[in-house]
């Protein structure tokens, strides 16, 4: 009997450049952050990830579609990782949003990646092992950033 296939899948989102009317400050590091993380994850001696999808300065709707596709197509035996580097913004109800290249601070609900949507995508994924890494302001808000503890060691 063969062991089940254990894929390692990652989506890495970086947002560092924004449209002039966005009311967002340009950032220096997110592009380099995902490039270096992609290198580490793909390394067969370190991360051993077979699928790494970097999304550098892309509009929110493209990012959301790719995030949803990756997590929706994961199997229970897969290890999936979501990484975001950029502006973490709070709306008037203190809900967290991840800025993208087309984000306009005045219209977060329709121009960013709301945390609640990401959480819903993660919750619906069949993958039993999920990693979430947020490199942004406000990532520690009380929005329910809680997950069941997983045994990452079993993936070694």
Distance (Å) of CA 152 to CA 34, 42, 112, 122, 131: 21, 17, 30, 17, 9
Q: Which of 87, 39, 80 shows the shortest CA–CA distance to 60? A: 87
Report residue 38 as tokens: 């992609």
Taking only the tens place, the pLDDT of each residue in 15-53 is: 999 999 898 999 999 999 999 999 999 999 999 999 999
Interatomic CA distance for residues 85 and 31, integer angstroms: 8
List of residues 6+ apart from 48 with CB closer than 8 A: 8
What's the pTM value of the predicted model, to 2 decimals? 0.87
Q: What is the pLDDT of residues 78-88, one digit of tens each?
A: 999 999 999 99
Cα 110 to Cα 107: distance, rounded to the nearest angstrom: 6
């Amino acid at each position: 009997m063969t062991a089940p296939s254990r894929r390692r899948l990652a989506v890495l989102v970086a947002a560092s450049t924004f449209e002039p009317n966005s009311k967002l400050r340009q950032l220096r590091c997110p592009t380099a952050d995902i490039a270096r993380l992609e290198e580490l994850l793909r390394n067969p001696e370190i991360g051993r990830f077979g699928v790494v999808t970097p999304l550098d300065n892309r509009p929110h709707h493209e990012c959301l579609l790719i995030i949803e596709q990756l997590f929706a197509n994961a199997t229970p035996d897969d290890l999936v990782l979501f990484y975001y580097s950029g502006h973490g913004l709070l709306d008037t109800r203190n809900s967290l949003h991840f800025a993208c290249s087309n984000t306009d601070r005045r219209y977060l609900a329709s121009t960013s990646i709301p945390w609640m949507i990401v959480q819903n995508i993660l919750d619906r994924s069949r993958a039993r092992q999920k990693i979430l890494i947020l490199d942004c302001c406000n990532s520690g808000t009380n929005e329910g950033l809680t997950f069941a503890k997983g045994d990452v060691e079993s993936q070694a």
